[in-house]
Every structure is written in structure tokens, then in C-alpha cells.
Structure 1
Amino acid sequence: MTLLDTTTADRYPTRVADRPSLIERVEPTVWGGTEVPGPLSSDELAAHDRDGFVTVPELLTPDEVAAYSAELDRLATDPRIREDERTIVEKSSRQVRSVFEVHRISDAVAALVADERVAGRARQILGSDVYVHQSRINYKPGFGGGGFYWHSDFETWHAEDGMPAPRAVSMSIALTENHPHNGCLMIMPGSHRTFVACVGETPADHYKESLREQEIGTPDPESLTTLADRHGIAMLTGPAGSATLFDSNCMHGSADNITPYARSNIFVVFNSVDNGLTEPFAAPAPRPSYIAAREITPIPR
């Protein structure tokens, strides 16, 4: 089904003022409560509510890690995939950085996304049926894998895609070891409760540059310092097969990978079926559907 356009009050205005601001969140993080049965325990749901993220040490078995790693290698070396508009390459090295809408390109990834270990955790957190807002595989090769500057995904999805509320959750599934030194995910625990309104008007077709290196929609140094001083910074490390679920409004980022050790992951964003996209709140036009799905297709239970 497709959500009809509706008039939605903007509780999180961003990219519309000449000064940044901090807006305290009004919506919950765990929408169904911490006692909802499912793959996550009540303690894990409470941790997600408190910190904005929760880790799953052994989501995949070693055999599954090997199979999905082979699938990522196949996609990265397929000339047709490289030429596809859904593939993003590094600005300098021209190596594959991301492949979007991967759950529609790869049957193996589609099966993983629908797996109860994955989608079931998203349903628990969001308190509803869910659909895939975005999926991608991220490659961060050794000696040149680019980082992602500090940002809130919800700020981008709200401004450029028209996501009304932060009722979305991302899952990053590691297919390589995540070390502190190879560009691991960094999150400010608790930052999901504060929305950072950014400055700077969104240019047309901004996604063509922002998916390689984002500038518009990144927080100012003062706001980042305030959040870091308030919450600290967690470096999320772990073995291949581990996963992290994190709230759409978490302040997070990662550094460049200048080590020999690659870091690759499958990344899936689940949105609540009750939080479908409207018109962008701060962009001239919606981004393509392979970056932000506008059709709501619930993942079957």
C-alpha cells in the first residue's frame, strides 16, 4: 500500500533557520514497552530505551557470515551492479562504498531482512508491523575506506524524505571484525533523546554528493560538543556475525579506515507502517525510492 499525503505538523524543524538548536524528543524509543515478547529480552529493550542502541553479540552463525561475505564479494565485483545507480563509489579511490536497495537485488539479503531474528527485533522496538525504509551493504576496505561524519539519520530522513517522527530503527550486521581502529561505529549513548536542528538549505539532488560525503545536515561543533560532554562516546566493536540496533535519532559516525583490515556490514532501516513518508520537510523533492522507500510493504510475520 502507499501512504496518502497528509498535512503533518513539523515537530522537528531543521535546515530552515540561520542558527542550530537542540529540540528535546517527545516520542518514545521503545514504542511497544519493554515487556513485549520477542527476540530481545526486557533488559535489552530497557538498554535500547536508555542508550538508544542495543548490541546482539551472535546474530549470525560462522557459516552464515561466510555465506553473506561471499554474497557481498559477488555484488562488489559484478560489473552490472557497479554501473547500477544504486551503487555508490568512494570519491577518491573509486572503490564500491555502498549498494542500496540490496534486499531487492539479492535474494540472500532479502531472506535475512525478513528473518525473525532481524525483523522481529525491529517490530519489538517499534511496536508495530515494519517495512524496509532503506537497505544497503557498506564496504569500508582497508587503506581507503571513507568514514561518515557525525549525524542523526532521522535529521536526513525527516528533512529529505519526509519521515514524520523518529519511529525507525537501523540494524548494522557485521560481516568483518569491528576493531576500534578500522572505522567502527561510534554512538553518543542517550543522544537519541535530543534532536539537533541543522543549518544550511538542502540543494537539489543533494543525495548524489551526501551519500559519498555529507556536509548539509551535519551538526555544528558546539551542538556536538554539548552532546558528547553530556553523553560520552561509545565505540561499538565486536566479531563478525554481531549486530547493533540503533534508534534513528542517535548521534553517530565513523572514522576513515587507514588500517589493512576491512570493515563490511549489511545495513537495514526498518520504519513503522504507521510512520510512512510524507513530502520532504526541508528539501525541494524526495530522494529516489531506492534510498527512501515510499511504498509501504509490511514484512510478513
Structure 2
Amino acid sequence: MTLMDTRIGDAYPTRLPAADAGAIDRLDPTVWGGEADGPIDAATLASHDAKGYSVVEGLLSPAEVQTYWQELVRLSGDEELKADERVVTEKSSGEVRSIFEVHRISDLIAELVRDPRVLDRARQILGSEVYVHQSRVNYMPGFRGNGFYWHSDFETWHAEDGMPVPRAVSCSIALTDNYPFNGGLMVMPGSQRTFVQCAGRTPEDNYKSSLKEQKIGVPSEDEIAKLAAEHGIEQFTGAAGSALWFDSNIMHGSGNNITPYPRSNIFLVFNSVDNAVVEPFAAEKRRPEFIAARDFTPVRR
């Protein structure tokens, strides 16, 4: 199958010539389920539908936070694991930045994926059974943690992984306190209803550099400015144990962390089993399965 073949029937074309890239309306819902489908009440579901994100305070207890934090310390200090392709290091310092497919590396995090507090919310938002499209732990050290430029996850997952539509949701569980000043995630509420097309062709093996610093698949400054003017910018702050649920297409990013306070989280991406990935829509070949799973088995408790 050629790159052009994959764009037949593509509702969200991207990685276009600069003159053709712009913004188009989203065609699919943000919330697919209803109040009866899970633990989220109607008002919170409506807010999530409007803003593209919602926060669950205290999803994990302080004791659980400590347990998962110790697991992150263990994983980041595993010298054998550092040689694994699933481990991404900081471009400048060489420190561990992310560990992918972590639910297959850590039994503790595998249990968390199946935890009803997590799984039932994912099912409710997506209105179906779900599978793990991607999992990782993220480390942002104090003083030298690098942020990520504005982007939509779905743009990359569509272009490079073949995710048909934005029927996926991410859960970011904080294992450290998130302050306004230590590189916390910023989102543009409501921006998930606009799909921003990006310019440029996808380089071969783009993931090897984009996981450290994304240059392809980022919107133009004009499009970012338009979205910010329309929607504003909000930031995820809160105590360790809080969870941010956010839509796959919401525009988000984070700044560098120059404070002494590190920021680490567990990041789980759930995709509907009815939205299983196909061939990439704007890349010549698939990314590795540790970044974009091809096992669509529904997660069970």
C-alpha cells in the first residue's frame, strides 16, 4: 500500500504542503458514552465534552503514589533497561526521559491499567471496550527538564500510526506535585473540536528524533495563535495522585522545568477497539509496536 492509497477516504488529512495545511472541523464526538456507562457523572461528562479534558483529584492515595514512585525510580535506575529501545533519554543530558510500553515491563503498572478507577473511565468516555494504544512513564527532572512544543497527539497517531479517528483518550497520573512553575502540561480547552493540519512530509524513522524533540507534526505559529485566542490556555496543576484525562486531539504542550522540583507521571493512552489502527495515513511505514500497539485485545479487569 502506498502513502497516497492510505489517504483515500481520509477525514483528517495532514503532513501536507505548507500552502494546503490549515484547520478543519472535527467530525467525531469527544465523549461517546453516557452517565450510565461508568463512574463519571453527567456534569463532568458534559464538561469533558466541552473542554476536552477533566481532572480527577486523588485518583491514587498517598501510599499508592509512593509505591508507584518507587517503581519509577527502580525502572529509571535499571542499567540493562537503559539499553532498550523503549527507553528515551534527554537529548542534552542523556537522562531517562520516558519509558514506553511500560505496562508490559512493570507488573504494577499493568495492574493500574486494569484498575476500575482507570479502565471504567476510559470505557465510559470512549463508549466501548478499549485497548492500550500506548503507555509510558515520563520523567522531567528539576533544573534541566525539557518540555514539549504545542501539538495534537491524534495528528501524530493518525499520520504515523494509522489511527482512523480521534476516538482515544489519555490519562496522565501525577506522581509528583504539579505546580504552575515546574513544566506542567498546558491545554487549550475546546481545541479538540478543531483538527490542525501540519505541513511537511514525515521523514523515515521520524520517531527516533520526535520522541526527544518533535519538529514534524507540529502546527504553525499562526494556527496556535488562533486557537489560543479562541480558547485560551489552562494548566494542569495539583497534588501527586491526581489524574488528567484529555482528548487525543486537544492542543497541548509543556514548558521546560528550571525549578528544583521534578515532575513525573504515568501516561496511559486508551483507544476504542472500534477505532483500531490501520496503515499510517502520512508515513511510509508503521512506527514500532512499543509506541503504537497492534494488539487490539480489550483490557479486562
Q: TM-score by structure 2 length?
A: 0.96
1:271 aligns with 2:271: yes
Cα deviation for residue 294 of structure 1 reads 1.1
- Cross-structure match for 2:223: 223
Identity of aligned residues (%): 63
Q: Deviations over 1:61-118 (max 9, x none)?
A: 0000000000000000000111111000000011000000000000000000110100
Q: Deviations over 1:29-68 (max 9, x none)?
A: 11123x2342211111111100000000110000000000
Cα deviation for residue 16 of structure 1 reads 2.3
Q: Distance in 1 between matches of 2:119 and 2:254?
A: 25
Task: Please say if residues 14 and 197 of structure 2, whose CA atoms lie closer than 8 Å, have aligned partners that are also in contact.
Answer: yes
Q: Distance in 1 between matches of 2:234 and 2:139?
A: 21
Q: Secondary structure of 1:131's partner? A: strand
Q: Deviations over 1:160-198 (max 9, x none)?
A: 000000000000000000001000010000000000000
Letter of the 1:182 partner, please give it. N
Q: Distance in 1 between matches of 2:166 and 2:49?
A: 13
Q: Distance in 2 between matches of 1:142 and 1:224?
A: 27
- Cross-structure match for 1:150: 150
Extract unaligned runs of 5+ from structure 1: 1-5
- Cross-structure match for 1:30: 31
1:183 aligns with 2:193: no
Cα deviation for residue 8 of structure 1 reads 6.3
Task: Please say if residues 7 and 13 of structure 2, whose CA atoms lie closer than 8 Å, have aligned partners that are also in contact.
Answer: no
Extract unaligned runs of 5+ from structure 2: 1-5
Q: Deviations over 1:106-159 (max 9, x none)?
A: 000000011010011000000000000000000000011110100000000000
Cα deviation for residue 266 of structure 1 reads 0.0
- Cross-structure match for 1:73: 73
1:99 aligns with 2:99: yes
- Cross-structure match for 2:123: 123
Cα deviation for residue 276 of structure 1 reads 0.4
Deviating above 3 A after TM superposition, structure 1's stretches of 4 or more consecutive aligned residues are: none
Q: Distance in 2 between matches of 1:273 and 1:157?
A: 15
Structure 2 matches for 1:196-275, cutoff 5 A?
196-275=196-275
Q: Distance in 2 between matches of 1:125 and 1:37?
A: 9
Q: Secondary structure of 2:172's partner? A: strand
Q: TM-score by structure 1 length?
A: 0.96
Q: Distance in 2 between matches of 1:25 and 1:17?
A: 20
